[in-house]
A and B are shown apart, each in its own frame.
Chain A
């Protein structure tokens, strides 16, 4: 029984899931399991950096630290569409509110808007509550062929699309990482493969490593039009009970972001909702969900799951 180790930055777990899916979809295997796990206390995938610090450009020629990198991405959205820090902060308010109902979340504390805005700044516009916490975690998913699945269940969850993209050329990348283009390409391909549109989704678990990122992905995943993400969070459309619930789990902002586990965990979350097993945070009647992960460098995975 072969075992493969996968490393693909923040998209590690979801890339492992996709490898498992491909090995079953190709007919090579009947059953495969994707396991994602990470101990961030040991710095996880980031721990390998033994390079000289003398010539590090951090803090003398800009930043490569993630809160700042995703801060810059959010600030670019401010520039284009007039989005405000308050609108980004509302993402943290929503996700932390959702987390109260998730026993698997690292933090299950509501953070009102005022608290988010007044929290310690990490990299403006991201404050402490707008950054995912560091934590360990694990998740696993079992995939099998339709034929094999019949032995176990009458109601399987189907993988309607599995997509992995990398960066095409865009002018400022990688001086300024482009977190948008590869997600846009991935979502277009995923909707096409699943034969659905964004309006057919009942829920989304997306990569909210920072609050700024979540708003950008509303547009990248085509949940709203260009420049409408700020308005979408103002309306509360992405709360559980809203038009399209996003991060009903509380997101990475509440669950933490153990890199290897993250991509499997958000697929597991969707599966629980499609099975009606998500407890107090259940998105009622969920039949179709989308799980999105992005790793800089870059890799973006999108999985569309259907009941």
Chain B
């Protein structure tokens, strides 16, 4: 890591979570979420897995790229948060169409009117630089915006 930090030229954007990948040509090529599928029972997980929580299989697991669309399963609107963060924000559980769920900030909703109409809202992923780490690398997060099928 110290070598990587040596020159500005070697700085590179890093995903904020291990289950997100940034292609070599990011941002020209979009980032995506990835995970594994249990070959034995079909359970899907974000990121790596050494054993399946559902069936106990220790693999092999098949690596898979998850698509960037899904819908809101549940949510909360967080008003009180850690110092330095912008609030309120919609903290949702998004069910991706490809069969896994992800914690996500969702944008494009009237945050003053949370309610049952938010269930099932179609959302699409986008990525954004949220911070810079101590080595000067951009930290990239995956966020979601409401598309309403558009």
Contacts and interface: CB of A to CB of B under 8 A. Distances in A.
Interface of A: 54-65, 67-69, 71-73, 75-76, 78-79, 82, 120-126, 169, 171-172, 175-176
Contacts of A126: 76
Interface in B68-117: 73-82, 85-89, 91-93, 95, 100-105, 114, 116
List the 5 closest pairs (A to B, CB-CB), nearest first: A62-B103, A71-B76, A63-B91, A124-B77, A59-B85
B21 interface: no
Given A54-B133, A79-B116, A175-B46, A62 B104 contact: yes
B86 A169 contact: no
The secondary-structure label for the interface of chain A is loop
A31 B56 CA distance: 40
Contacts of A65: 78, 80-82
16 contacts: A55-B139, A58-B81, A59-B87, A59-B91, A61-B17, A62-B91, A64-B103, A65-B82, A68-B76, A71-B77, A76-B73, A123-B76, A169-B54, A175-B93, A176-B74, A176-B93
A172 B94 CA distance: 10
A247 B102 CA distance: 34
Contact of B78 (A120, A123, A169, A176): A123
B101 A59 contact: no
Interface of B: 16-17, 43, 46, 53-54, 73-82, 85-89, 91-93, 95, 100-105, 114, 116, 119, 130-131, 133-134, 139, 141-143
B54 to A, nearest CB: 4
A171 B101 contact: yes
By CB atoms of chain B within 10 A, which of A75, A78, A126, A169 has the most?
A75
B76 A60 contact: no
Contact of A68 (B43, B91, B95, B104): B91
B52 to A, nearest CB: 8
A67 B80 contact: yes
A56 B141 CA distance: 10
Nearest to B85: A59
